[in-house]
A and B are shown apart, each in its own frame.
Chain A
Amino acid sequence: MNAEAGMQAWLASRVETWRQLSPQLEALEKSRNHSAAEALQAIDLYRALGRDLSIARRILPGSRVTKALEHSYAKLHSIIYRKPHDWRARLLTLFREEIPEVVRELRPAIVWVTLLFVLSAGAGWWLISQHPELISLLASEEMINGVEGGRLWTEGLLNVTPSSVLSIGILSNNIAVSLMAFCLGVLFGLGTFYIIATNGLMLGAIFAFTHQHGMAGELLKFVTAHGVVELSVICLAGAAGTMLGEALIRPTHATRRESFQHAATKASRLLVLCALLLVGCGFIEGYLSPDPSFPMISRGVVGFGYGMVMIAALTGDLFGRKRVKPAVGF
């Protein structure tokens, strides 16, 4: 048998198997609950396809048959190497193990970012105390006129906007700020510092401005219930952002790219929890904070209580994390 006849015979023997490939791969890709027999069948198919591709690459290089085999082989490869799928187990691992681990790793960054936020808030307070006219750079004209007229912008907020709409508006704004604080870490951490510093500066400046008009207490009353967690979450997102910057400045892997990817994957786990906590903040800020019938004590309890929930979530205790006792040595 000459080479050409051999090739023909080989093609003829394999063609029916290949024709079945497309529907087989489609079925394997769509289903997520394969039996052991199906999985073994897929592995057998993968081996057979690898063999066929190897022959096709040699005897028919660059042909359509080879390209089609390459395509099917790559697709089957992606199906076989797909990670196991168990939502419940995955979520439990995320909240019980992975997020607390990231928080532990980020502890110094959280402290530094919080410090930056506090210092910026102090700087904002000092700036407006010394130069009150600069408030026009940081607050809207409407807000300034309101405070100068003895009326805080948060007063009567519920008469203008319903709580549900207010909650969603606040939630989206907070999530956008947190995501920006995280993502801008890609600028070697500088973008994160900028977002944290400007947010702190604005907070301090606005408190100073309302203080000058005798309304700082009212603003504090408004902020207490949701502010504890909201501001903490912004600092947490900022700390996650610095992780990206750190990965680029001092890579922990062979390349900066790998290091960045590793840091992004790790830090983004914390963002999942941040987003969930912000949903609660949005709810409180939309329904409770603008409602004047809630006394300061209730606001304090909610703010403090939600802060405790946040800490329990960050340590994993809220999700039933089991602490491993250190072994006692003799």
Chain B
Amino acid sequence: MAAPQVILQSITGVDVELRIAGVGSRSFAFVIDWHIRAVLAFTWWAIGSLVSLGDIATFFAGEEAPGPGYFLWVLLPTAGIYLFYHPILEVLMRGSTPGKRMAGVRIVTRTGDIPSMGALLIRNVFRLIDSLPFAYLVGLATALFTEQHVRFGDIAAGTLLILDSKEHDTSFARLTPPNRSLDPRAADLIHELLERWTALDEKTRGEIGRSLLARADRSMSPEQLAQLSTVELRTRLQTLLNPTP
């Protein structure tokens, strides 16, 4: 199913289309971020405990209450890393976090621009509501049932989570193949097929590959195409995209 879109008008007269991230992408980004912040917080706590108490077990033994220095330099930063991970990184990374980057999503305003610090902070304050009663159930439910898959924080801040995959940046790099006689639409399809080659079963990739080859290389007869093995077919398609000089 195609992702829902938001279409914005621009001064050039050409609309900007933003693809809204669904609950899956949103949850994926959150899970990655949760692991990162948990690991960071735990690492700080473990190193701090080792340095100040000499042993992590001492903390759990509870025989001697740790001093105020332990609270200020170990426990407080640990809580800070865990609780302020999202607001700080979202502000510093202009609407993104490591998890969001990995999941290929980004926060933008409803007009498509980079959210202000105020909007990002409001979005994070409302985590108090979205995280209720546990495991972000309220946020998950609102994201599931709203048209643009937003949680309360997004509604309050006027933000959207959009798909922002880095793979698009590589699309230009392989844009015009050296073989200029190849139709760009066919080249596009060949690229896609070669990328999914191993994921497709042999019969399907053979059929699609032969049909594309027939369209791109008219010098081959149907009999010649039928006789090509899978390996030969793949090599031919690769050669079509990048012919040796």
- By a beta-carbon cutoff of 8 Å, the part of chain A in contact with chain B is 4, 7-8, 11-12, 15, 18-19, 21-22, 29, 46-47, 50-51, 53-54, 60, 63-65, 67-68, 70-75, 77-83, 161-162, 164-165, 168, 179-180, 182-184, 186, 244, 257, 260-261, 264-265, 268-269, 271
Contact = CB atoms under 8 A, between A and B. Distances in A.
Contact of A265 (B13, B114, B122, B128): B122
B191 interface: yes
Contact of B184 (A11, A19, A75, A271): A11
Interface string B116-132: 10110110011011000
Interface stretch (B53-61, B163-171, B206-214): B163-171
Interface in B97-128: 108, 111-114, 116, 118-119, 121-122, 125-126, 128
Interface string B73-85: 0001000000000
B129 A15 contact: no
15 contacts: A15-B172, A46-B12, A63-B185, A65-B184, A68-B168, A71-B164, A73-B14, A78-B108, A82-B114, A165-B72, A179-B128, A264-B126, A265-B119, A265-B157, A268-B156
A249 B147 CA distance: 21
B173 A78 contact: no
A94 B112 CA distance: 24
Interface of B: 8, 10, 12-14, 16-18, 68, 71-72, 76, 94, 108, 111-114, 116, 118-119, 121-122, 125-126, 128-129, 152, 155-158, 162, 164-165, 168-169, 171-173, 175-176, 180-181, 183-185, 188, 191-192
A72 B167 CA distance: 12
B188 A63 contact: yes
A165 B164 CA distance: 43
Nearest to B70: A165
A224 B12 CA distance: 61
B180 to A, nearest CB: 6
B125 A183 contact: yes
B128 A180 contact: yes
Given A79-B114, A182-B125, 13 more contacts: A18-B175, A51-B14, A54-B14, A64-B191, A65-B175, A70-B168, A71-B168, A82-B113, A179-B128, A183-B126, A183-B129, A186-B126, A268-B125
**Which of B14, B18, B158, B176 has the largest number of chain A CB atoms within 10 A?**
B14
A11 B172 CA distance: 11
B156 to A, nearest CB: 4
A63 B190 CA distance: 12
Given A71-B168, A265-B118, A53 B14 contact: yes
